[in-house]
Amino acid sequence: MLGKKLVTAQKRGETRALCLGLGMVACSTMMYFFIGITIVPFYTKSVWTTETVCKLLKANIKDKVLCPNSKGSEDEDIFPYPCLQVWVNLTASGQEVMLYQTEDTLERNPKCSYVPGKSENSKEVKAQIEKIASNFKKYQTFPCYYDPGGMQTNVILTRLYPLKGLLFAFLWPTLMFTGGCLIIVLVKISQYVSVLSAWQ
């Protein structure tokens, strides 16, 4: 009687462990799919792939401009802010080009190097942009990214999704997938050993 209870409990434990492993594999597969349709396209479409050194030429704050209405945004997303324009000397080619914060900045407003997040307090936005301009003037040289193919003549300060960020995004689903597969393999080995010992 006790032996039957132990066998039943063992089978239930194996079933739960197997469900856990399959669930981990299924979740990691969905995470792979989500990353593949969101982050990977942004990474592959970015042409600013080569890092170089940029030297500051000028950083000017012009009159307030309206944040243009980007695709999918609503009218309430349009707000005025001071336009910061940063011009740098590209070390790789010696050209005078405009610097943008990220790839998204160029799409949102090609006239300005930095597009702030929407804020009700215009003084905070102005102070933030002035601080960024002073930081550029303080650090005259800094790393930046340019397009080696020449399709884009401007440069960006940081990539939205660099290679390290992409690898980090794939790290967690990979660990979950590996753990799920390991649980499934251990359960199958345990079942095989149980059948083998019972047969003997």
Q: What is the pLDDT of residues 142-175, one digit of tens each?
A: 999 998 887 888 999 998 888 888 888 899 999 9
- Predicted confidence at residue 126, as pLDDT, reads 85
The whole-model pTM stands at: 0.69
- Compute how many other C-beta atoms are within 10 angstroms of the C-beta atom of residue 85: 16
Q: Which residue has better confidence, 69 or 96?
A: 96
Q: What is the pLDDT of residues 12-59, one digit of tens each?
A: 777 888 889 999 999 999 999 999 998 888 888 888 988 989 999 999
- How many whole angstroms separate alpha carbon 162 and alpha carbon 99? 18
C-beta of residue 187 within 8 angstroms of C-beta of residue 14: yes
